[in-house]
A and B are shown apart, each in its own frame.
Chain A
Amino acid sequence: MKENTFARRYGLIILAGIVAGAAALILTAAGNPKNMGFCIACFERDIAGALGLHSAVKVQYIRPEIPGIVLGATLSALAFREFKARAGSCPASRFVLGLFVMIGALVFLGCPLRMVIRLGGGDLTAVAGLLGFLAGILVGIVFLKKGFSLGRAYPVKRGESFVLPAVMLGLLALLLLAPGLLRFSQEGPGSMRAFWPVSLAAGLAVGFIAQRSRLCMAGGLRDAFLLRDFTLLAGFLAIWVTVTVGNLIIGNYNLSAVSQPIAHSQYLWSFLGMALAGWGSILLGGCPLRQLILAGEGNGDAAVTVLGMVAGAAIAHNFGLAGSADSAAEGIYTVGGIGAAGMAAVIIGFAVLLAVSLLHLPGKEEA
């Protein structure tokens, strides 16, 4: 039995990467912040702000991309009979892990998806984040090899599987029918937004194809290091190439380590923030994008993780943990980054991840 295995193996995942990259370019052209066409961490942070869970006035908006991704994954899973109600895999630990993955991402100023999009815009400050993400994944793999596990999920009643999709529909309903209940940024990244149908359509498309292809930033690197299997990594690279080529064509490519949009040049803390996000993502079994997709497929544990990430975003901004961007005004370039509270949060995050990792290793009788 002979066939073209390259197309069979890589076709869908590369297509998913191209769709995600193109969606990011379109959303930026339509009004989203530069190098932030898509960012799961930033958009969940904006949603937390819109609901009044934090009071950072520059980052408040119900981003329709997030409901779009979840609902796109739900539609795909239902259409292909892969929608399964499952839960029960250490939900409390997952909540905490999601919380610290979010804090790590907001210290860097972006989730793994935005990290790739920043790299595709020529943002060299994101290289520190990429190296940190790789380091975090390698630490996570060490614990996987030692037997780390949050345990299996079990079938649950069907109603459980629709919780996060229903929450997402509720968010859309609030945005469209009761915007007066929400907070909207008047300046800053939260005020930069594509027209909502464009955002929703982009989210639906990415959610649908990410569910079909299993697109995952952390999973791609895990498989590459652990199995020498580059299938999922091809999606990661396809996003990078698509965004780079697109930015070069439309003249938005700026290869530089200074004056990058919504980025800071505290390289050590970018590295450590993404190391925290990478390690946490391996323990969770997927990056923030993948958690949205799994929740859309009916996985209650992933839904809890997403709620943990939203809580993490609120904590990050209520306690001043998130990074602030470099800025230039009146000829003076000011380096942004994080303060002492953010640094402490990253260190605490590593301690918490270490504790979760050690507490979920097999006992002597199981090893």
Chain B
Amino acid sequence: MRQRILRCVVSFHTTAGAMAAERLCRREELEGKLISVPRSVTSDCGLAWSAPPGLRETLERRFREAGIEAAGFHELAL
């Protein structure tokens, strides 16, 4: 048994989108990590970015500015 914590999960249309998000967040020292996109989000088996919920607005803005197209932002207990 382990504690589940709330995360902001960002899904993408392509694996390349998730990889680009990872590169951007690493470069800008934004906390988070790549995960397999949760089953509750989609039946696709791509990658997603998991970050603290407090970063949602920052991520939305930075991804938009960098031209990284997110498929959706989801708050999930992981």
Assign chain B's interface to a size class: 20 to 34
| Contact partners of A219 in chain B: CB under 8 A | 45
Asked, given contacts A227-B36, A229-B35, whether A144 binds B16 with beta carbons under 8 Å apart, the answer is: yes
Q: Verify B15–A285 contact, CB threshold 8 A.
A: yes
Q: Are B45 and A214 in contact (CB under 8 A)?
A: yes
Residues of A contacting B44 with CB < 8 Å? 214
1/0 per residue, CB under 8 A from B, across A84-97: the answer is 00000000000000
Closest 9 CB pairs of A and B: A149-B16, A152-B13, A214-B45, A1-B4, A82-B43, A219-B45, A229-B36, A149-B14, A2-B1
User: Is the C-beta of B25 less than 8 angstroms from some C-beta in chain A?
Assistant: no
Give the residue name and chain of the B residue nearest to A290 (CB): B45
Count residues of A near B (Cβ-Cβ below 8 Å): 34
- Shortest CB-to-CB span from B75 to chain A, Å, is 13
Contact with B along A164-184 (1 / 0, CB 8 A): 000000000000000000000
How distant is A143 from chain B, measured CB to nearest CB, in Å? 10
The A142-166 residues at the B interface (CB cut-off 8 A) are 144-145, 147-153
Nearest CB of chain A from residue B30's CB, rounded to whole Å: 18
B43, A1: Cβ atoms under 8 Å?
Answer: no
Q: Which residues of B contact A148 (CB under 8 A)?
A: 16
Tally inter-chain residue pairs, CB-CB below 8 A.
64
Q: B43, A77: Cβ atoms under 8 Å?
A: yes
B interface residues (Cβ-Cβ under 8 A, vs A) = 1-4, 13-17, 19-20, 34-36, 39, 42-47, 67, 69, 77
The answer to whether A285 and B77 touch (CB under 8 A), given A5-B2, A223-B36, is: no
Q: Does A231 contact B (CB under 8 A)?
A: yes
Please, how many angstroms separate the alpha-carbon atoms of A2 and B77 in the complex? 10
**Could you show 23 A-B contacts with beta carbons less than 8 Å apart?**
A1-B77, A2-B1, A5-B2, A5-B4, A82-B42, A144-B19, A147-B16, A148-B16, A149-B15, A150-B14, A152-B14, A152-B69, A211-B43, A213-B39, A214-B43, A223-B36, A227-B34, A229-B35, A232-B36, A232-B45, A285-B15, A297-B43, A362-B16
Q: Contact check, A153 vs B19: say whether CB atoms are below 8 A apart.
A: no
Which residues of chain A are near B14, meaning CB under 8 Å? Answer: 149-152
Q: A151-B14, A227-B36 are in contact. List 18 more A-B contacts (CB 8 A).
A: A1-B4, A2-B1, A2-B3, A2-B4, A4-B1, A77-B43, A147-B20, A149-B14, A149-B17, A152-B13, A152-B69, A211-B43, A219-B45, A223-B36, A226-B47, A229-B36, A285-B15, A362-B16
Q: How far is A229 from B36 in the complex, measured between Cα atoms in Å?
A: 7
Instruction: Return the CB mask of A274-290 against B: 1 if under 8 Å, else 0.
Output: 00000000000110001
Roughly how many angstroms separate A149 CA and B13 CA in the complex, as a whole number? 10
Q: Which residue of chain A has its CB nearest to the CB of B1?
A: A2
